[in-house]
Amino acid sequence: MIHPGVPVHLGPPRTSHVSRALLGSLLVVLVVLSIRPAAAVRVRITSPLRSPNARVVSKGHHRSLPRVCDLDGAVDGVCTFYTEATVLKCAINGGSGCQDVSDDSSPPPCPFSSSPFALPLRPNGRPAKRIRVIKNGVYPSDRFIMRCLPPRQPESTTTSTTLPGVRSLSGVWTLADNNLVEGCPPGAQTPILAPSIIMQQMGTSLAACVMGYLNFTAETSEAGFTSDPAGDLSDLGIGTAEWMGTVSGMVLASGDIAVTERWKLRFATCENVRTGIMTRDEPSCASHQDCIRLLGACSRCLGGRCLSQPPFCRPSQ
């Protein structure tokens, strides 16, 4: 996305823990245009072993770009690439207008505005290559030539981020509403949370993302969680900015979550209550590619099920 008046950057800084997790050896060759569409340039970006940064060579210039390769920081046989073309082109080559370009994505666990691209290794851990062509109308097309090289150490294992006795709620969930009890005047449009909700849990702290931008935080327990949504509710429906909401969830024996949304008008004493059930998006799979196709770049095939786990293709702040 374009954000006026902000210098070029590639998202939030990576923590030292995530930096140490970048143990794959990746090579990306990007054939891109500069910010001036008519000037085509060749750019080589290399992410060496044990380095969180990519080394960039273009037109005789050398750059070091962080957070371009292997965004999830996991040695899992899949390379995950940052794809916001305009931000990348400005960071690599600069040009007129680049002083006003930055990544304006919402904070984690919300995804980047431009979805990352996941490229699994070929069978038996062989290198993989993929070319993406982004057309620009009357101008020459951008070509992203990505190569994923195998790591030089065993694949990483999943580390628990929850406390004993507290169930992990991290992952991608689908919320299905099944009941609305209205206590407010007829015609008041109650906000509706999007069907897909991304949740990331660290200990008893829960961060969630709805609609790719609306975030809320919560505290979890053995029973579930309670949270107050934050951000601009106006995009959830006409007139919804007048509402304040509380979302709570109770974990059922099945692993699903019974959700209760309580919405109050800011200038009234009424309350509308909506209930629903959240279920994890964990279809069966035979390979990482199955999950990437079904749930996106941040999902992996673990134990025959598609799991979407933190950091969801981007570092936490």
What pairing do the DSSP bridges indicate for beta strands 196-202 and 205-210? antiparallel
Distances (CA, A) of 215 to 38, 74, 103, 120, 176: 39, 25, 17, 30, 19
pLDDT tens digit string along 189-238?
Answer: 788 887 889 999 988 899 988 877 888 888 888 889 998 877 667 667 66
Amino acid identity at 274: R
* 19 confidence band (pLDDT: 50, 70, 90): very low
* Per-residue pLDDT reduced to its tens digit, 253-283: 999 999 999 998 888 888 999 999 999 999 9
**The Cα angle at residue 156 between residues 56 and 115, in degrees rounded to 5:** 50
Mean pLDDT for the stretch of residues 21-45: 43
User: Does residue 94 or residue 24 have the better pLDDT?
Assistant: 94
Q: Tell me how far apart the alpha carbons of residues 192 and 235 are, in angstroms, rounded to a whole number.
A: 10
Look up the pTM and report it. Answer: 0.74
Average of per-residue pLDDT values in the chain: 75
pLDDT at 84: 83
Q: What Rg, from alpha-carbon coordinates, does the chain have? A: 22
The answer to whether residue 33 scores a pLDDT higher than 50 is: no
Rounded CA-CA distance 102/50 in Å is 27
35: confidence class by pLDDT, cuts 50, 70, 90 = very low
Beta carbons of 75 and 22 less than 8 angstroms apart = no
**Average pLDDT over every residue of 290-295:** 92
pLDDT score for 21:
28
pLDDT over 70 at 61, yes or no: no
pLDDT of residue 54: 63
